[in-house]
Chain A
Amino acid sequence: MKKTLTVNLGGTVYHIDEDAYVLLDNYLNNLRYHFRKEAGADEIVRDMENRISELFNEYIREGIQVITIEQVEAVIARMGKPEELNTEGEEERTEKETEEPAYGSVKRLFRNPDDRILGGVVSGLAAYFGCDPTPLRILLLVAGFILLSFGGFFPLMLAYIILWIIVPLARTATEKLQMQGKPINMENIGKTVTDGFEREGEKERSAEPRSLLARFFDGLVQVAGFIIKFVLVLLAICCIPALMLGLIIAFALFMAATGILASTPAILYYALPEIDWNLLGTAPVSVIGLSICALLVVGIPIWGFLQLLLQSFKVWRPMSTGVKITLILLWLFAVAIGTFFLFQLPFLIDSMYWA
């Protein structure tokens, strides 16, 4: 059973399968994009629409009731793909276009949703480095077995899971093109969508759609994802009153902190008379550095937690991989530098001993 749509093509109504409709719509959009620089582009596409309508009409007269994807494919083959329609002088232009460093053709690391066994991490990596995923998978498996005997399997697994969490899934056609580092233009997007359809078709035709292993893992992943989401939501519900309270407290603390900050020198001077404050003058960099580091060390995890919470509610958009990695590195950096500064403060150490 298939869902059908009713379309008005060149003034005639046709029933058309949903997948056939998407393909046709896509084809017409590609044509529009292809002729965009030509005078009377709309007219050209409208005339071609009329012709397609005429060809469909022939099918209808043959006794077909619903236009299927095979018929749309046949019509497209007859009309010609946009790249086959190059007319005079255009060839040089299109060649030049492809030679240009295409806008937005940056390669990005994504997880590949179309070819995956677990999370599509390896497949995405393969797309990123432009190689076949199968050898990479085998390599990883072999590495896993070797590391297993050395007890290093856990870090590898952890690395995979971390990548799974932080690397986003390529959801849209644009992201899929970015994953492969192809230029993002209408024609390529069209191709990706059409390719997707072809692959869908293949899947339907083959009796065993995906390997049993892949389906088992799919199920496992879904269950795990559900449990994680459930726990997160539960946690969030428990946290809402606390969060509100926390926000109020944080605000109050912030106000107080402003006041305290303004009078810090005086307060500190009177509160801790035993510290030799003259040392502060000798190490001002350490004090400021330590403050910044402390802010980062505490702030980044709070930000991360907030992000995770709000992201699961779709309030905030997911962080990009680059931001995540930067934050993690910044945190580690802050910890390291902070520790260094801490031991640079002789008066603090003195006071510790004194206490």
Chain B
Amino acid sequence: MNVDNVKSQMRKGMLEYCILLLLHREPSYASDIIQNLKEAKLIVVEGTLYPLLTRLKNDDLLSYEWVESTQGPPRKYYTLTQKGEEFLTGLETAWDELSATVNHLRTKLISNKNEKDTDC
């Protein structure tokens, strides 16, 4: 059990949700998603994204269409399907609950800590 391991597990759990969020905002192709995820430090190696996208597509959460590009070959633009949107809504409530729980615990701990500090 080390910190990096837990961190990467946390990130991994978030990855699908974040991809769906990004695609909810606008249809995009893999390299755009990579760019965004890298900025958010959610992925380290780019290869992780591709199996995930394919899996989401196979589960009918995503669909894609080929779009001509000005520089190079046509690109796969992914969009959320109806099922994907529903899935995202489900995840959003889960995330709200999760963040509420974590925040609740953290505020409790922080207030405890403050109390302790004031006790001393």
**A interface with B by C-beta (< 8 Å):** 10-12, 31, 35, 38-40, 43-44, 47-48, 50-51, 53-54, 57, 77-81, 84-85, 87-88
Query: Pick the contact of B30 from A35, A47, A85 — CB < 8 Å?
Result: A47
Whether the pair A85, B48 counts as a contact (CB closer than 8 A) is yes
Which residues of B lie under 8 Å from residue A50 when comparing CB positions?
Answer: 30, 73, 75-76
Known contacts A47-B30, A57-B71, A87-B52; A79 and B46 CB within 8 A of each other: yes
Selected from A12, A38, A51, the residue in CB contact (under 8 A) with B51 is A38
A interface, by DSSP: helix, strand, loop or mixed? helix
Query: Which residues does chain A contribute within 8 Å of B75, judged by CB atoms?
Result: 50
Report A-chain residues with C-beta under 8 Å of the C-beta of B72: 11-12, 53-54, 57
A47 and B44 within 8 A (CB)? no
Known A43-B54, A57-B71; 12 more pairs at CB < 8 Å: A11-B72, A35-B51, A39-B54, A39-B55, A40-B57, A44-B50, A47-B50, A51-B31, A53-B73, A57-B72, A79-B45, A87-B52
Interface string of B1-23 (1 = CB under 8 A from A): 00000000000100000000000
B49 to chain A, nearest CB (A): 9
Q: How far is the CA of A48 from the CA of B58 in the complex (A)?
A: 17
Cross-interface CB contact of B44 among A48, A54, A80, cutoff 8 Å: A80
**What are the residues of chain B within 8 A of A53 when measuring CB–CB?**
72-73
Considering only CB atoms, which chain B residue lies closest to A42 in the complex?
A: B54
B90 touches A (CB below 8 Å) = no
Q: Give 14 pairs: A residue, B residue, CB < 8 Å, sorted on A.
A: A10-B73, A38-B55, A39-B55, A43-B54, A44-B51, A48-B47, A50-B30, A50-B75, A53-B72, A54-B31, A57-B71, A57-B72, A85-B51, A87-B51
Shortest C-beta distance, B44 to chain A (Å), equals: 7
Chain B interface extent, by class: 20 to 34
B18 to chain A, nearest CB (A): 14
| A44 and B54 contact, Cβ closer than 8 Å, known pairs A10-B73, A11-B73, A54-B72 | yes
| Distance A87 CA – B30 CA, assembled complex (angstroms) | 17
Q: Is B91 an interface residue (CB 8 A)?
A: no
Q: Which residues of A contact B44 (CB under 8 A)?
A: 80, 84
**Which 4 interchain pairs have the tightest Cβ spacing?**
A80-B45, A80-B47, A11-B73, A79-B47
Residues of A within 8 A of B34 (CB): 51
Q: How far is the CA of A10 from the CA of B72 in the complex (A)?
A: 10
Known interface pairs A12-B72, A87-B12. Does A51 touch B50 (Cβ–Cβ under 8 Å)?
yes
B53 contacts A by Cβ under 8 Å? yes
Instruction: Please determine whether B58 and A40 come into contact, CB atoms closer than 8 angstroms.
Output: yes
Provide the residues of chain B in CB contact with A48, threshold 8 Å: 47, 50
Chain A: CB-nearest residue to B16: A88
Smallest distance from the beta carbon of B9 to chain A beta carbons, Å? 10
Q: Which residue of B has the minimal Cβ distance to A47?
A: B50
Given contacts A54-B72, A57-B71, contact A85 B54 (CB under 8 A): no
Q: Which residue of B lies closest to A88 (CB)?
A: B12
Q: How far is the CA of A78 from the CA of B45 in the complex (A)?
A: 6
Instruction: Assess whether A47 is in contact with B45, with CB atoms less than 8 Å apart.
Output: no
Query: What are the interface flags for B34-73 relative to A under an 8 Å C-beta threshold, 1 for contact and 0 otherwise?
Result: 1000000000111110111111011000000000000111
Residue on B nearest A40 in the bound complex, by CB: B54
A39 and chain B: residue at smallest CB distance: B58
Cβ A80 vs Cβ B48 within 8 A? yes
Across-interface contacts of A84 in B (CB, < 8 A): 44-45, 47-48
Contacts of A81 in B (CB 8 A): 45
**Smallest distance from the beta carbon of A282 to chain B beta carbons, Å?**
80
Cα-based distance from A43 to B55 in the complex (angstroms): 10
Q: Which residues of B contact A40 (CB under 8 A)?
A: 54-55, 57-58
**B74 nearest in chain A by CB position:** A11
Give the residues in chain A near B31, CB-CB below 8 Å. Answer: 51, 54
Interchain nearest-CB distance for A68 vs B (Å): 20
Residue of A nearest to B76 (CB): A47
Name the distance in Å between B36's Cβ and chain A's nearest Cβ.
Answer: 15
Q: How far is the CA of A79 from the CA of B46 in the complex (A)?
A: 5
Instruction: Give the distance to chain A from B80, nearest Cβ to Cβ, in Å.
Output: 18
CB distance from B6 to the nearest CB of A (A): 14
| Least CB separation from B57: chain A residue | A40
